[in-house]
Structure 1
Amino acid sequence: MTATAKKTVSADSSNPLGTIVNLWPYMWPSDRPDLKMRVVWATVFLLASKLVLLLVPYFFKWATDALNGKMDMADIVPSFLLGAVMLVIAYNFARIFQAGLNQLRDALFASVGQYAVRQLAYRTFVHLHRLSLRFHLERRTGGLSRVIERGTKGIETIVRFTILNSVPTIIEFLLTAIVFWAGYGFSYVLVTAVTVALYIWFTVRASDWRISIRRSMNESDTEANTKAIDSLLNFETVKYFGNEEMEARRFDQSMARYERAATQVWTSLGWLNFGQALIFGVGTAVMMVMSALAVQRGDQTIGDFVFINAMLIQLAIPLNFIGFVYREIRQGLTDIEQMFDLLEVEAEVEDSPDAQPLAIKAGAIAFRDVHFAYDPARPILKGVSFEVPAGKTVAVVGPSGAGKSTLSRLLYRFYDVQQGAITIDGQDVRDVTQKSLRAAIGMVPQDTVLFNDTIAYNIRYGRPDASDEEVRAAAEIAQISGFIEHLPDGFKSMVGERGLKLSGGEKQRVAIARTVLKSPPILILDEATSALDTRTEQEIQAALEIVSKNRTTLVIAHRLSTVVGADEIIVLKDGRIAERGTHAGLLRQNGLYASMWNRQREATEAEEHLKQVREADEMGVVVRQPAPGE
């Protein structure tokens, strides 16, 4: 996209001229000379169609006078064209020719308008991916998608109606005023001007009134769509609790508000259309009475009478478009004002002007006196300092809310530290480009969310240009290739919305496979097995050990059994490092880590005992209860 096209379109622009100025870089793209020529030719055909349109009432007038025996144009028009039949044919041919020029103009401008829509939609999509994690955590996906959908349609409305209707209407009004002044005097121009002015004034006032109604309808529409998307995304939860009727009521309440607002929109439109018809009808009546009196006095012919009527009818069409265009532009601006608000949201994390690509040497990570808070009133990290040597594994454990997952978000630069620094091979992550930073890090998260596509697509997401052989090799390392090959469609099997067709362990293996395919020098395992059962956890852990071999690995863990082999274990508590050392060393300290280990071991033993009891019940065997302290 060109630099000019990156200019922010103001959401407050409520006039067509301001809209044209803001959208002009998209309609006159500097990088598309072919589209510029389309704009030029569309303008040429626009002017030609208006000149032809001006001739149509004249042919109607001449034909009327010819039939009335009052035609006297021999000095101007060849005599063979003065017959009533020829004039009627010319009148209809001019109408057809003018319609053809209009359609040709629209066809030429179609690609220009769609290019503008595409560029603005692309810009919005890219901008949303630039915004911070905080922004997306606070937004609702359903409402956001509807804002973009309406905004894109609103942009198309503004582009098309501003250029294809506003400009032609202005040209036609000027030509009509010139013809009336030259042929019938200033009084006709004055009545026409007053009629048009009142028409536009009423249209603007009524449309402004309808904007608030439209905004209320949009809000209700967004709310209903948000509830529908949330409900469908949580389909299983709805079924678990049998709350289908509650979800339906919530959705229906939103739709009821939408129904009331939409009804008001259409009712107000009826009043607007009636008021426009009344104003133009009165203006037309005044001018036709003036012309009828002139015919009775002998100052005008019957042809003049029908000519004035034909000119007014022709003017009524674009004049009606003025009201329509204004309504559509204002409503379009209402539809896209939230989209423009999105474009004006500043990204919380930006590359510095002199940012350089990350130069990976060994991949050593260092957290140096890191302070961070999502909310200034509630600090999360309070001076955390530790290192992850190149090729080594460091685990971070601690109670919930200690700040463990925040470390991975800061390393990825989803947020920036407020004090201190995070470095990779001595380079502050704030001084390198985000793209190069994230390209060097692989993530296996706790909750793996997959795209609603094939297994192959989700694995290849780690490196989109990977071959099928490389995808299969990554699946083998992640110990999921056997499962995939037994599926009816193999690697082409669909995983469903968010991967819901796969089990938790299968989704984790897909996440491991795509990380293997990415082959990053730095690996983050953010509680990658905490949501899995013990057996699946052991299988996934074996795959993770293969992946993390010879890689700089930061493990964020809840289950301590998964980090016993780490080169160093960091124990966080209340945003500070409480303990650090190896598994054996921390147990000898008999501190926080040792107490967490004992609690988890007891819970695991109790879980195993319950499992044995259930199995024994099925077999009819009595299992001895362990004595206290055993």
Structure 2
Amino acid sequence: MTAPTTFPGSPGVRPQPGTPDGEREPGHQSRGAGRRKNPADVAQLEQHPVPLRRIAALFGPHRRPLAIVTAIIVVSSLIGLVTPFLTKHLIDDAIPHQNVRLLLFLVGGMLAITVTTQALGVIQTWLSTKIGQQVMHGLRTDLFSHLQRLPLGFFTRTRGGEVQSRLTNDVNAMQGVVTNSATSVATNITTAVGTAAAMALLSWRLSLLSLLVLPPAIWLTRRVARLRRTIQTRAQRALADMQTQIEESLSISGVLLAKTVGSGPVLSQHFRDTSAELTELELQSQMAGRWRMGTMAIVFSAIPALIYLAAGLPATSGGMTIGTLVAFTALQSALFRPMLGVLNVGAEVVTSMALFSRVFEFLDMPVTIDDPENPIPVDPATAQGDVTLTDVTFRYDGADRDALTHIDLELPAGKQVALVGATGSGKSTLAGLVSRLHDPSGGSVRIDGVDLRDMTLQNVSDLVGVVSQQSYLLHTTIRENLRYARPDATDIQIEQAARAAQVHDLIEALPDGYDTLVGARGHRFSGGEQQRIALARTILRDPAVLVLDEATSALDNATERAVQDALDEVSRGRTTLTIAHRLSTIQGADLIVVLDGGRIAERGTHDELLARGGRYATLWNSQATRHASQMS
């Protein structure tokens, strides 16, 4: 925080930033006097308390620069208090007696104090900002890394906007707390105490008079702050609504929906109404309590008049000199801002602690799937890809029954195994266990005889590649989308993967080839094209085990055949676990497993299961009948 500048009309005095009546520049949220503790902050701290020692530990590596910042705050605040005393001697001694030597000394002292405080302010700003940035950098990166390691269940339960808000908004707000609020509190306390002491030294009678006016000034300021806080809360809600409308309506999916259902005019009117509400609330916020603030300005202006009155009356003047009066007036005008700031320490502390609480709440969430202490490595280059599930049981958190129960299944190296069954039978859950998106509640999942829980997560991801129904492409070039899976891949390797996924010719036909931007969520390409690009990305990693989680279920028949041809080519020689929606795509599988209610109901080849006349045969006949009716 930079050193406060000279207070208007009071030479050399260094109050807190802001005008005497407590007004803020437009666009700045009020953090001035009278700020109340936010009930939401209090509730957050009650739910997830934060020990002070944990926050202090964040600043442990910065003890020396923190000590320097504290020293600068104290020194610059105390130096600033010298100016009124120099002014006193200037008026009482140097000017009346035409003492040029003393005059030059006093004027030089004033200039030296200004230069010194400004220089200290620059150093303080640099140090405090550097400390704040380093602390926030550590918190931000730790939180991002921790979120990456949390289980999928966390992201299904938590809104994406909430995660982003804590990672960006909360951490940025904490940066302001660390960089500005902490130094502001220290400066306010030092300045208030020092100014009050200096006033008492000059005149204890006038000091008592000044303090008598403080209670009504505090009361008026708090009333205005409360009024503005209520309006600003409503404005924040309106702004959040507007941001939601922008995010939902102007995303590629939102625009497509609006154009296809003709909701553009309705959305525009809704946005116009929200914008009008926000405009009105901002106007109310700026005008809130203007008459109260005007009253307080009158009170502040009346204080010097009362001081002059007391200095002029024989009963109260006590032989006060003109220099003492001017110096005292300068000091008292600088006293109220830091004192009101000190009164806000409680609210500042609660707000600051609540921000730390929100971030620590995420950091304290347990990582249920993590690297073992002594991992057993499996070399992806030499891995066979033999997958074995032994007595596997799994239950989701909070569920009242198992999603999978006592599953015994072997996926021989290089073979194709298909999973079929009704919705909710446990197919995707089983696939998630093979790729270690979940850990079994009981039993084990092994690759080449090694339990997945004994491998590092990176090792598992190198061994197991997943292609799901929802292909996710980043808003960047095709080349970078493919390289996302393997950052060190060469252009030749990227092209080979695209050829294997049968998408190279399509990419080469584009004007920019592999440097073509895919657009938001890949909307520049059709579903089948997106799926083949995603498949090429998985191929680039060359996994020994391939999991295909209904990779073609959302495609039309013609596109499905093109993608299926690519999948068949890629699957050759790899251990492949396929979750099939259309049974026609898995007729050639080496083994078909039918799941029902989380258990294996049947297993065998296509012909064996049809001959058995069980659940698989029923599913097959049902799909064949439906296909025939669609063709007729």
TM class by smaller structure: 0.7 to 0.9
- In structure 2, relative to structure 1, the CA distance for the partners of 1:268 and 1:13 (3 Å cut) is farther
- In structure 2, relative to structure 1, the CA distance for the partners of 1:369 and 1:124 (3 Å cut) is closer
Partners of 1:279 and 1:470 in 2: how far apart? 77
Question: How far is 1:176 from its partner?
Answer: 2.1
Pairing partner for 1:51 from 70, 78, 82: 78
1:438 equivalent in structure 2? 461
Q: Trace 1:202-221 onto structure 2 (pairs within 5 A).
A: 217-221=235-239
- In structure 2, relative to structure 1, the CA distance for the partners of 1:194 and 1:458 (3 Å cut) is farther
Checking the alignment, whether the CA contact within 8 Å between 1:59 and 1:91 is kept in structure 2 is yes
- In structure 2, relative to structure 1, the CA distance for the partners of 1:229 and 1:89 (3 Å cut) is same
TM-score by length of 2: 0.80
Question: How far is 1:495 from its partner?
Answer: 0.5
Structure 1 residue 106 and structure 2 residue 129: aligned?
A: no
RMSD: 3.8
Partners of 1:333 and 1:273 in 2: how far apart? 30
Aligned residue pairs total 583
Q: Which deviates the most, 331-340 or 444-453?
A: 331-340
Deviation per CA, 1:215-250, whole angstroms, max 9, x where unpaired?
A: 555455444433432333422223222223444466
1:622 equivalent in structure 2? none
Partners of 1:223 and 1:333 in 2: how far apart? 27
Pairing partner for 1:454 from 474, 477, 481: 477
Percent pairwise identity: 31
Checking the alignment, whether the CA contact within 8 Å between 2:311 and 2:317 is kept in structure 1 is no
2:138 equivalent in structure 1? 119
Pairing partner for 1:230 from 245, 248, 258: 248
Gaps of 5+ in 2: 1-40
Instruction: Give the structure, 1 or 2, with the largest relative contact order (CA under 8 Å, sep 6 or more).
Output: 2
Partners of 1:450 and 1:324 in 2: how far apart? 48
Instruction: Say which SS state the counterpart of residue 82 (structure 1) adopts.
Output: helix
- In structure 2, relative to structure 1, the CA distance for the partners of 1:318 and 1:357 (3 Å cut) is farther
Structure 1 residue 518 and structure 2 residue 538: aligned?
A: no
Instruction: Say which SS state the counterpart of residue 334 (structure 2) adopts.
Output: helix
Partners of 2:284 and 2:602 in 1: how far apart? 65
Instruction: Say which SS state the counterpart of residue 88 (structure 2) adopts.
Output: helix
Question: How far is 1:397 from its partner?
Answer: 0.9
Question: How far is 1:459 from its partner?
Answer: 0.5
Q: Trace 1:137-536 onto structure 2 (pairs within 5 A).
A: 137-185=156-204, 187=205, 217-233=235-251, 234-235=253-254, 236-248=256-268, 266=286, 289-293=309-313, 297=317, 299-319=319-339, 321-322=341-342, 338-339=358-359, 341-344=361-364, 346-347=365-366, 349-351=368-370, 354=373, 356-357=375-376, 359=378, 362-367=384-389, 368-373=391-396, 375-377=398-400, 379-536=402-559
Partners of 1:478 and 1:204 in 2: how far apart? 67
Checking the alignment, whether the CA contact within 8 Å between 2:418 and 2:579 is kept in structure 1 is yes
Question: How far is 1:582 from its partner?
Answer: 0.6
Instruction: Say which SS state the counterpart of residue 601 (structure 2) adopts.
Output: strand
Gaps of 5+ in 1: 1-8, 72-78, 611-630
Partners of 1:43 and 1:214 in 2: how far apart? 33
Partners of 1:334 and 1:48 in 2: how far apart? 31
Partners of 2:306 and 2:54 in 1: how far apart? 40
2:599 equivalent in structure 1? 576
Structure 1 residue 64 and structure 2 residue 91: aligned?
A: yes
- In structure 2, relative to structure 1, the CA distance for the partners of 1:424 and 1:281 (3 Å cut) is farther
- In structure 2, relative to structure 1, the CA distance for the partners of 1:325 and 1:97 (3 Å cut) is farther
Checking the alignment, whether the CA contact within 8 Å between 1:58 and 1:307 is kept in structure 2 is yes
2:37 equivalent in structure 1? none
Instruction: Say which SS state the counterpart of residue 529 (structure 1) adopts.
Output: coil
Question: How far is 1:452 from its partner?
Answer: 0.5
Deviation per CA, 1:456-514, whole angstroms, max 9, x where unpaired?
A: 11101111122222212211221211111221111111101111111111111111111
TM-score by length of 1: 0.80
Partners of 2:294 and 2:55 in 1: how far apart? 32
Question: How far is 1:38 from its partner?
Answer: 4.3
The residue type paired with residue 88 of structure 2 is K
Checking the alignment, whether the CA contact within 8 Å between 2:235 and 2:278 is kept in structure 1 is yes
- In structure 2, relative to structure 1, the CA distance for the partners of 1:379 and 1:205 (3 Å cut) is farther
Checking the alignment, whether the CA contact within 8 Å between 2:498 and 2:504 is kept in structure 1 is yes
Partners of 2:55 and 2:215 in 1: how far apart? 27
- In structure 2, relative to structure 1, the CA distance for the partners of 1:274 and 1:258 (3 Å cut) is same
Partners of 1:461 and 1:165 in 2: how far apart? 44
- In structure 2, relative to structure 1, the CA distance for the partners of 1:463 and 1:228 (3 Å cut) is same
Question: How far is 1:263 from its partner?
Answer: 6.1
2:29 equivalent in structure 1? none
Question: How far is 1:569 from its partner?
Answer: 0.4
Checking the alignment, whether the CA contact within 8 Å between 2:395 and 2:401 is kept in structure 1 is no
- In structure 2, relative to structure 1, the CA distance for the partners of 1:297 and 1:447 (3 Å cut) is closer
Instruction: Say which SS state the counterpart of residue 440 (structure 2) adopts.
Output: coil
Partners of 1:279 and 1:385 in 2: how far apart? 83
Checking the alignment, whether the CA contact within 8 Å between 2:196 and 2:335 is kept in structure 1 is no
